[in-house]
Amino acid sequence: MLRGARLERPVVFARLLFLVRPAGSRKSPFHLFLWLEVIVSDIFRETEVGERYAKAVFELADAAGQLDAVQADLKTLKALLIESKDLRRLVTSHAFKSEDKLKGLTAVLNTAAPNALTLKALGLMAHNGRLDQVFGLITAFTRLYDAKKGIVSAVVTSATALTDEQVTGLQAALRTALGQDPVLSQTVDPSLLGGLKVRVGSRLFDASLKTKLDSLKFALKRA
């Protein structure tokens, strides 16, 4: 619960509106990463199969005291999948055998010295012909990990990619509203026209231009 830290508080509302003012043309590595993540964001949606694997791996990692290590591995693997279109194609294509998919994943992941439990999980998925569910596993495991660690995740959807300065300001505004340091997950939706939406759990703060225009249209119809 977010008692005493309502996202719709006027001060936070005003600060968020200020943060989403039109940005300049300055680019940074952050924007490139965000652009890549937006392209594949739908792939990382949770699935029933991915969640089952995630729960099994989470329970084993928790019992072995390896949660942080496995989470770090999956975070690295997600970044690799986001950066490499070829790696994503390898995992999702039916043209490759499961053992070839496993070899490809472990080859790129071995550079980060992955935990043995992570490798065993990938091996089991390959054996069962389920490596294409690794995206859902990553997302579900991260959700379970955040809940275990008390990490507050905020999903931010904006009309255009936010600058580093805007992200920093947004984190500060949410920290004030939530009383905790949020971990931001960002997507871009041009249909918002301007502004942004922030979802924390089941709560939604909507400061998008599209919503404001829709509200205005509704008010005019009733006038």
Domain with CATH 1.10.520.20 in the chain: 39-147
* Pairing status of strand 196-200 against strand 152-158: antiparallel
pLDDT of 15 > 70? The answer is no
| Residue 218: strand, helix, or coil | helix
Q: What is the pLDDT of residues 196-208, one digit of tens each?
A: 888 886 677 777 7
Of the chain, the end-to-end C-alpha distance in Å amounts to: 37
Q: What is the pLDDT of residues 147-165, one digit of tens each?
A: 898 888 888 888 888 888 8
Task: Specify the CATH number of the domain 39-147.
Answer: 1.10.520.20
Six-digit token pair at 115? 């935990």
Per-residue pLDDT, 74: 95
In terms of Cβ atoms closer than 10 Å to its own Cβ (0-12, 13-18, 19+), residue 95 is: exposed
E strands along 27-175, which residues?
A: 152-158
Span 113-117, average pLDDT:
93
